[in-house]
Structure 1
């Protein structure tokens, strides 16, 4: 799998920026980004997700608040 941030590829294309991030002690963050990805888990997760509009989200929020106004107001 391709790495989200590939410093070697950037360097090969004339953008040697690794030292800039190293000086700011950010390389650990990029290690996390470039760490293991559980492809099957991600596929299973997104299959079960619903994409909704802001209007649908507002309706759901209002319905939940109406069910129990004491406990459900953000």
Structure 2
């Protein structure tokens, strides 16, 4: 391989390395965004579960009051 072949091969390797680095950076950015969205969804799910627990407790208290009113508290 002559000098020109070595230069061309080096340029191709440099382009390939730059393309791989760009792809890796894009992938890392996408993964960071996905992780942030997953954490947000987890937080929303946790908040929704806590809200459902509060509603269930309120519902239970209301049913207990109704039952006590109907049975005279027995």
TM > 0.5: no
| Length-normalised TM-score, structure 1 | 0.23
Structure number with greater Rg is: 2
Larger RCO (alpha carbons 8 Å, 6+ apart): 1
Decide which structure has greater helix share: 2
Normalised by the length of structure 2, the TM-score is 0.23
